[in-house]
Amino acid sequence: DAEITQSPRHKITETGRQVTLACHQTWNHNNMFWYRQDLGHGLRLIHYSYGVQDTNKGEVSDGYSVSRSNTEDLPLTLESAASSQTSVYFCASSDRLSYNEQFFGPGTRLTVL
């Protein structure tokens, strides 16, 4: 069955370290998204991609970067982790039609000490 996976599921790191969160989907979806979820803020969009070599900034992109070298993967990198980036991160994907639902991965809980 097609799916979307994230790794690691839990990560503890220290301030200033570079961290990469992986997202992999097997639906062959063109669109992929990264969100963070914090209490009181719901889900906020960090970066998104509409296809290979395409990346775009979302609402809260500062301190994060993504790259899209193939259809299946959209890794999220925190260049220099900060305590404010402690959060739960969700990856999602959808096919190229804008009105289609997004499918979410299981999430990565990141703690920055």
Partner 1 sequence: EDKVVQSPLSLVVHEGDTVTLNCSYEVTNFRSLLWYKQEKKAPTFLFMLTSSGIEKKSGRLSSILDKKELFSILNITATQTGDSAIYLCAVTLDAGNMLTFGGGTRLMVKP
* Residue 107 binds partner 1 (CB under 8 A): yes
How far is 75 from 96, CA to CA, in rounded Å?
A: 19
* Residue 99 binds partner 1 (CB under 8 A): yes
Q: What is the DSSP letter of 2?
A: -
Q: Is 37 exposed, middle or buried (0-12, 13-18, 19+ CB in 10 A)?
A: middle
Among 19, 25, 31, 68, binds partner 1 (CB under 8 A): 31
Closer of 36 and 112 to partner 1 (Cβ):
36
What are residue 85's phi and psi, to 5 degrees? -95, 5
Residues 32-51 that bind partner 1 (CB under 8 A): 33, 35, 40-45, 48, 50
Size of the site for partner 1 (CB under 8 A): 27
How far is 11 from 51, CA to CA, in rounded Å?
A: 28
Q: Which residues contact partner 1 by CB under 8 A?
A: 31, 33, 35, 40-45, 48, 50, 58, 90, 92, 94, 96-107
